[in-house]
Amino acid sequence: MDTISVGILGATAYTGLELARILTRHAGVAISFVSSRSYAGQTLSAVFPELSGLCDQTLLSLDEAGKRDVDCLFSCLPHAVSAQYCTPFLKKGTRVIDLSADFRVKDPAVYKKWYEVDVCDLDALRRAAFGLPERYRDQIRTAPLTANPGCYPTSIMLPLVPLLQKHTLSMIIADSKSGVSGAGRALKLSSHFVEANENVTAYSIGHTHRHVSEIEQELSAAAGKPTTITFSPHLIPMSRGILSTIYFQAPLSAADCTAIVSDAYAEEPFARVRPTGVLPRISDVRGTNFCDIGFTGGESGQPLIAVSVIDNLLKGASGQAVQNMNIMFGFDERAGLC
């Protein structure tokens, strides 16, 4: 396939930096433009000096970016902002990969309940593929728009979906820990060094975090019936990485879970399953697009336990976005990512 042109909205995001890093070494891609709200007129490498000599393009304003034509657009803008900038590109026929939550939740009423805004573009929402390649590769291949999943949801869906497709799981509880980059680059008190360092903070626990909406949507779709989750995220003093410990009841052993999920992901380039009882660590996947999964527990009526790890900025965001681009444009799925 020939080289494709791509644009990045919100290139000054942490996810934008990761995209630029990956795409500058992707042989099939030329970055046509990068854009920013606050840094328009500066070069991307002035904002992120590590990109010097790799991506020295001048950041366009979002309005200027909207006048450009590219084969593929990535949006790293926040939810409720992203969709309004993606829609004009979709109307021009550009294929779009949105890293925000704006096109992930299929039911507009559910999106409104959790995000407290209306869906901006119902037509685009209907045509969007949910960008979890291990589940929706065929839809992603031809979709005009791919809604890249959230980081916590990716870490929870990948171990559970193959199990739910075959068995009933109940009492699902996910306890997740995320590094501080999960909150983005914008200044906020909870991300300050003194607040986050040598500290662990539970937030939006139980059934209150917005990611519950897409997690329950996808677990229910896999199970073929409504499936709920208790989801408790925690902020930990690391720059990047997510570890999810997921408890559930099922008529299975940990070895059964290992066998089912290993079988489901036997051909997957970025999902790896450990032997039963061997649990992955964040350091095993940091800087990679892998999701590593291990199962344990289940003896004497105790819950089964899955542990999964991802790099939130890669398999949880920009790595998965490039994996989706590779699928959409017929590249080797590993291109730029290995």
Cα–Cα distance for residue pair 236/312, rounded to 1 Å: 13
Give 67's contacts (C-beta < 8 A, 6+ positions apart).
none
- DSSP calls for 125-161: HHHEEE--HHHHHHHHHH-SEEEPPPHHHHHHHHHHH
Cα–Cα distance for residue pair 81/123, rounded to 1 Å: 17
What letter would DSSP give residue 318? I
Q: Which is nearer to ligand NAP, 150 or 297 (CB)?
A: 150
Q: How far is the CB of 316 from ligand NAP (least distance, A)?
A: 5
Structure tokens at 132: 């979890």
Q: Which is nearer to ligand NAP, 264 or 282 (CB)?
A: 282
User: Contact, 125 vs 103, CB < 8 A?
Assistant: yes
E runs forming strands in the chain: 4-9, 29-34, 72-75, 95-98, 128-130, 145-147, 170-178, 201-202, 230-235, 242-249, 271-273, 291-297, 304-310
Q: How far is the CB of 13 from ligand NAP (least distance, A)?
A: 3
Selection from 95, 41, 34 nearest residue 65 by Cα: 34
- Sign of CA pseudo-dihedral 286, 14, 203, 148: negative
Furthest-apart CA pair in the chain: how many Å?
A: 63
> Mind telling me the catalytic residues?
151
Cα–Cα distance for residue pair 18/151, rounded to 1 Å: 14
3-class DSSP assignment, residue 219: helix
Q: How far is the CB of 18 from ligand NAP (least distance, A)?
A: 8
Which residues make up the interface to ligand NAP (CB under 6 A)? 10, 12-16, 36-39, 62, 76-79, 81, 99-100, 150-151, 181-182, 184-186, 312-313, 316-317
3-class DSSP assignment, residue 292: strand
